[in-house]
Amino acid sequence: MRKCNVITTCLPEVPGDTTPEHNMARAVTLLDSFASLKPDLVILPEVFQKISVNIPMDDAKLTEDCRVILGEKARMLNSYIVVGLHEHINGKKCNVAWLLDRQGNLAGRYIKYRPTDYEMDEEKGKSVWAGSDIPVFETDFGKLGILICFDIDWPHLWTEIGNSGAEIVAWISAYEGGYPLNAFAAVNMYYVVSSVREFQSKIIDITGKELETSSRWANWAYKQIGLDKTMFHIDSQIPKIIKIQGALGNKINLETYDEEGRFTIESNDPDWPIARIIKEFDLETFEAYHKRVEVLNDKKRMPTGT
């Protein structure tokens, strides 16, 4: 039974100009208020220090500020923090997301795989370089993937990160993203947590359902999520649903999805981990069922061109 306390934030654009220091102060105010929630993961938006800033900035100083100030906040909260910034790597400017661990150390870095043409337009003074890898990071609560903004428009990146084992994908962005985030969560059956410069940062379930959303009045969203929550298909398993609910009661969260022909189970009892539930009630997971059917399909497939 693995539970993870997730907090995501939004830091909207402000009227007129502001400063990186003001944006850092906004972030720190939020982080300082989260201690009682005991977060395992907190997420801040894409290049958050530069929101509504229209003055020259020293990227080296901003990077150092992130390392020192947010490293201390990660230690204070005993939490991982995902944060977006511009970082110069081997002399090249990159749009990156850092993963800071519970001790405030840099545990991982993701370089935006699909920067926009505007970010790379050297004639307009932009010179961002694109990343080469789609890593998945091991944490003490599970496997975390990270994508950034324009990456949303390449579905294969979301598939790849799921195939690499991601259980949560943090998507940090300048805009809200909308329905594709729900679709990617549902299709890949992982949690998606967005953190944006607008008002709607979201925590999205493995079914694509929005669990929590930030707003213009509360610049954060919080939810404890179950990383062992498992998807099942209803084929050959409908009679088991009532038996499981009757036997385990509130030791589990069991939800059925009529239109999709699916159901999910999440354990609330350490004596009943999902592996035991599957064994005791002879369940077949959605993934295992589909892999088994694929083998059967291939054995009885008609020749090409028939």
- Residues 80, 83, 89, 94: is their CA dihedral positive or negative? positive
Separation in Å, CA 279 to CA 128, 282, 284: 50, 5, 9
Can you tell me which residue has the tokens 């390449």?
154
| pLDDT confidence tier of residue 305, bands split at 50, 70 and 90 | confident
Asked if 42 and 34 touch (Cβ cutoff 8 Å), the reply is yes
Separation in Å, CA 145 to CA 87, 99, 248, 250, 259: 19, 10, 33, 31, 29
On whether the pTM is more than 0.85, the answer is yes
Longest distance between any two alpha carbons in the chain, whole Å: 67
pLDDT in tens, 144-178: 999 999 999 999 999 999 999 999 999 999 999 99
Pick from 222, 216, 218, 221: which is nearest to 13 by CA? 216
Distance from C-alpha of 153 to C-alpha of 115, rounded to nearest angstrom = 11
pLDDT in tens, 188-246: 999 999 999 999 999 999 999 999 999 999 999 999 999 999 999 999 999 999 999 99
Tokens standing for 64? 């150092």
Amino acid 254: pLDDT: 98
Compute the 3-state secondary structure of the chain and give helix, strand, coil in percent, each to the nearest 5: 35, 30, 35
Name the DSSP letter for residue 174. S
Separation in Å, CA 167 to CA 121, 133, 241, 263, 295: 35, 18, 25, 18, 26
Helix, coil or strand: residue 15? coil
* The pLDDT of residue 30 is above 90: yes
pLDDT in tens, 267-294: 999 999 999 999 999 999 999 999 999 9
pLDDT in tens, 31-69: 999 999 999 999 999 999 999 999 989 999 999 999 999
Distance from C-alpha of 16 to C-alpha of 52, rounded to nearest angstrom = 7
**Helices and strands counted in the chain (H then E):** 9, 16
Name 254's bridge partners: 265
